Chain A
Amino acid sequence: MLYREAGDFSTTYSQDSQTFPIRFDRWRYYVVLFVAVFVIPFMINDYWVNSIFMPFLIYSIAAIGLNILVGYCGQVSLGTGGFMAVGAYACYKLMTAFPDVSMFIHVLLAGGITAAVGVLFGLPSLRIKGFYLAVATLAAQFFLVWLFNRVSWFYNYSASGQINAPERDTFGILITGPNTEAWATYLFCLIFTVFSAVVARNLTRGSVGRGWMAIRDMDIAAEIIGVNPLRAKLTAFAVSSFFVGISGALFFAVYLGAVEVGEAFGITKSFLVLFMIIIGGLGSIFGSFAGAAFLVLLPVALKVVGVDWLGWPTDIVAHLNLVIVGGLIVIFLIVEPHGLAQLWRLAKEKLRLWPFPH
């Protein structure tokens, strides 16, 4: 009843091919965007931003990036942590070298640098596939972390090898450093998240995205019908790394403020983002958000319930957290191997017929 297309007529091609063809869906999207931009910034404090919204937004960008590579183009990557580190260190070097430039430009440039590095490590994908490519990207992960640990130029020769984000602004509003306002950092990340999602959505609907999906579904057939595998694979690596680099730059500069490469961008980070897209749904932008939300919010929610409400010991809750998150991942993969996005799709199908199913 709520969710249906009866009476919703498309009179032009652009109307017919829009992202949300159903009116209710479109309105829901506008409402979410409106709440995110005009309501949440006025209501949040440091805790909500730093524990919930910022990690969710930043991991969403990383998940979108990885989803393009793994979900849309079918190239398995375990190098996400390493590429995030490239974004973070590029951002750090830019921030310290050009203190007067706006943070927007630094973050975008950091994404660009990561895209170049991503293409470099994507070259083997032209020769190898599947598990072997996963191992090649795993090598990138370890190599990049080692590089940022080893070469002191990357961390400006500081004694501890840590990088610290100095205070930087954009249009006079502080974005990094300790004296930021909650709404400023939130909106800054939100802009990048929305930008990434819109760009990714439209890329995957166009000819570039169709090329990726053709390569994913069957690379030989794709080549025969005229998709250039070199271009498709390398653009997928470039676009994916661009988003992952942006998320790495935000993760370091805006969210954490100080980063140690081995701890923040280790192999566990690669797996975390991979789990996000597997749970959320491969080949779905909504799935990237759902997966990021699932893995970021669930531990916080369990902690609030277990420690703050029930008063259980912290170590018990931490262990329970592992058990519950792990168990839910297994259950999800058994019950719905296509992830949360598929659940959402099914729910929408049901809603369209409700309350009169056949």
Chain B
Amino acid sequence: MKYKLGTMAVAGLMAASPVMADLVFPSLSYRTGPYAAGGIPFADGYADYFTLLNERDGGIGGVPARVLECETGYNTEKGVECYESTKGEGALVYQPLSTGITYQLIPKATADDIPIHSMGYGRTSAANGDVFSHVFNYPANYWNGASAAINHILEQNGGDISGKKIALVYHNSAYGKEPIRTLEKLSEKHGFELSLLAVDHPGQEQKSQWLQIRREKPDNVIMYGWGVMNQVAVQEAANIRFPMENFIGIWWSGAEIDVTPAGDKADGYKALALTAVGSDFPLYDDLQKYVVDSGKAAGAGDQLGTVPYNRGLYAAMLAAEAVKKAQEIHGVDDITSGMMRDGMEALEITEEVMAAAGLPDFGPTFSVSCANHGGEGMVAVTQWDASAGQFVQIADFAPTDMSVIQPLIDEDSAAFKAENNIESNCN
């Protein structure tokens, strides 16, 4: 009797689960907590893009997409819970939007044959696809960001920054510590003096760091911040009258919400960018028509056109293109996570692909291969125009110093490979 009940329960569960084919994209979002300022627009953008595809095209290749949202609050324990509760639904790709959660999911997702796309965050050396078979961090990673910031400073100073003082203000976590090694190498190469200033989670307390900056008077400040830390840092920089054009943030520190609290004093603040800014793209017309006007926009629907929203759109666009690639490679429409991985590995983003998606010149062109999961690492620079209330792109997507970054990637991934006895993915 007991056995019968058990089988009935199992049968009931199986009957209850949807048999209809769909493509599941879990969104480990955080709409609460100290990092919600960045988490909300990104999650909205990610969800809206798939809503648009469903409404306009009936999904990807005829198969509807389903976004499974799970609130992590940027907390790794909740991230694990979200991963476990969503992976059984047929999750195709995880985008945890948190370096801590990414680190945790790398071994788990690899074992479960589900790819991770940590776009512009996560473990940088995962760019080496030979070691990290299921992790992708195209189009650019933290070390590209560090190099891009230095390149921009080089450009400002006519190519010579020897003897200059550069300070790194960073979130004291795996995320913030990532660029340190690259910056140290770059400081050897270019002869600048690097000082490191850690800001502890959540980042509201930065008085002492900025006091130190005021005392040491570095020529430039680079920031790796996220969430509330950005707003506080920009405000503090304004308070000590640090010249904003010498203050440059990573792409996670370059949203409208980060600079608006400081008002006009934030004018001239710079940030690196993974995508183009603004909403002047054909896709936005469709978004307005199919998603916003029909009341299907995610969240409050008021984030369209902001930097993190665009990044969410971009992440979703890259995922959708990878699905198309996977459908093409395997000849099946309802793909599995393993097929998705193959699609991501064969992904090629050209001008034509972006234009076809309604986002011409939205991001850099790049291609992914088995050995290179990180793309070409092209990064743009934007600057805040306080009077217009928007970021303006001041430098086009430009390559970064791979002669410094590639050896670091090889070294770090080789260490991981040896530590975990990983077999080569390519060959």
Shortest distance between the CB of B88 and any CB in chain A (Å): 7
- Pair B81/A51 contact, Cβ less than 8 Å: yes
Shortest distance between the CB of A163 and any CB in chain B (Å): 10
Instruction: Pick from B31, B111, B175, B180: contact of A314, CB below 8 A.
Output: B31
- Pair B108/A262 contact, Cβ less than 8 Å: no
- Pair A314/B103 contact, Cβ less than 8 Å: no
Shortest distance between the CB of B92 and any CB in chain A (Å): 18
- Pair B81/A50 contact, Cβ less than 8 Å: yes
Shortest distance between the CB of A270 and any CB in chain B (Å): 15
Q: A160 and B177 in contact (CB under 8 A), knowing A262-B201, A318-B31?
A: yes
Interface string of A48-61 (1 = CB under 8 A from B): 00110001000000
Any A CB within 8 A of the CB of B90: no
Any A CB within 8 A of the CB of B71: yes
Name the B residues within 8 Å of A50 (CB-CB).
80-81, 84
- Pair A264/B76 contact, Cβ less than 8 Å: yes
- Who on chain A is nearest to B79 by CB? A256
Name the A residues within 8 Å of B258 (CB-CB).
none
Shortest distance between the CB of A183 and any CB in chain B (Å): 15
Taking each of A259, A266, A315, which has the highest tally of chain B beta carbons within 10 Å of its own beta carbon? Answer: A315
**A99-B108 Cα distance, complex, nearest whole Å:** 20
- Pair A314/B84 contact, Cβ less than 8 Å: no
Any B CB within 8 A of the CB of A47: yes
Interface string of B87-115 (1 = CB under 8 A from A): 11000000000011001101110111000
Any A CB within 8 A of the CB of B69: yes
Interface string of A247-276 (1 = CB under 8 A from B): 000000001111110111010000000000
Q: Which size bracket describes the interface of B in this complex?
A: 35 or more
Interface string of B368-407 (1 = CB under 8 A from A): 0000000000000000000000000000000000000000
Any A CB within 8 A of the CB of B172: yes
Any A CB within 8 A of the CB of B412: yes
Instruction: Pick from B76, B174, B412: contact of A256, CB below 8 A.
Output: B76
- Pair B77/A256 contact, Cβ less than 8 Å: yes
Name the B residues within 8 Å of A47 (CB-CB).
84-85, 88
Give how many A-B residue pairs fall within 8 Å (CB-CB): 106
- Pair B71/A318 contact, Cβ less than 8 Å: yes
**A313-B301 Cα distance, complex, nearest whole Å:** 13
Instruction: Pick from B69, B107, B125, B175: contact of A257, CB below 8 A.
Output: B107
Any A CB within 8 A of the CB of B156: no
- Pair A314/B173 contact, Cβ less than 8 Å: no
Taking each of A167, A303, A313, A318, which has the highest tally of chain B beta carbons within 10 Å of its own beta carbon? Answer: A318
Any B CB within 8 A of the CB of A5: no
- Pair A51/B85 contact, Cβ less than 8 Å: yes
- Who on chain B is nearest to A157 by CB? B415
**How many chain A residues touch the partner (CB < 8 A)?**
36
Within 8 A of B (CB), among A282-331: 300, 303, 307, 313-315, 317-319
**A161-B172 Cα distance, complex, nearest whole Å:** 9
- Who on chain B is nearest to A259 by CB? B76
**A266-B76 Cα distance, complex, nearest whole Å:** 13
- Who on chain A is nearest to B69 by CB? A314
Instruction: Pick from B32, B174, B419: contact of A162, CB below 8 A.
Output: B174
Name the A residues within 8 Å of B177 (CB-CB).
159-161
Name the B residues within 8 Å of A307 (CB-CB).
69-71
**A167-B108 Cα distance, complex, nearest whole Å:** 12
Shortest distance between the CB of A273 and any CB in chain B (Å): 13
- Who on chain B is nearest to A43 by CB? B6
- Who on chain B is nearest to A164 by CB? B103
Name the A residues within 8 Å of B181 (CB-CB).
159
Name the B residues within 8 Å of A124 (CB-CB).
none
- Pair A177/B32 contact, Cβ less than 8 Å: no
Shortest distance between the CB of B73 and any CB in chain A (Å): 6
The 10 closest A-B pairs by CB, nearest first: A315-B31, A178-B107, A178-B111, A160-B174, A314-B71, A51-B81, A47-B84, A258-B103, A318-B32, A258-B104
A-B contact pairs, 23 of them (CB 8 A): A45-B88, A47-B84, A50-B81, A159-B124, A159-B125, A159-B181, A160-B99, A161-B173, A161-B174, A164-B107, A177-B107, A178-B111, A178-B112, A179-B111, A256-B104, A258-B107, A259-B76, A263-B76, A263-B173, A315-B40, A315-B71, A317-B71, A318-B32
Which B residues form the contact surface with A (CB < 8 A)? 29, 31-32, 36, 40, 69-71, 73, 75-77, 80-81, 84-85, 87-88, 99-100, 103-104, 106-108, 110-112, 123-125, 172-175, 177-178, 180-181, 198, 200-201, 299, 412, 419-421
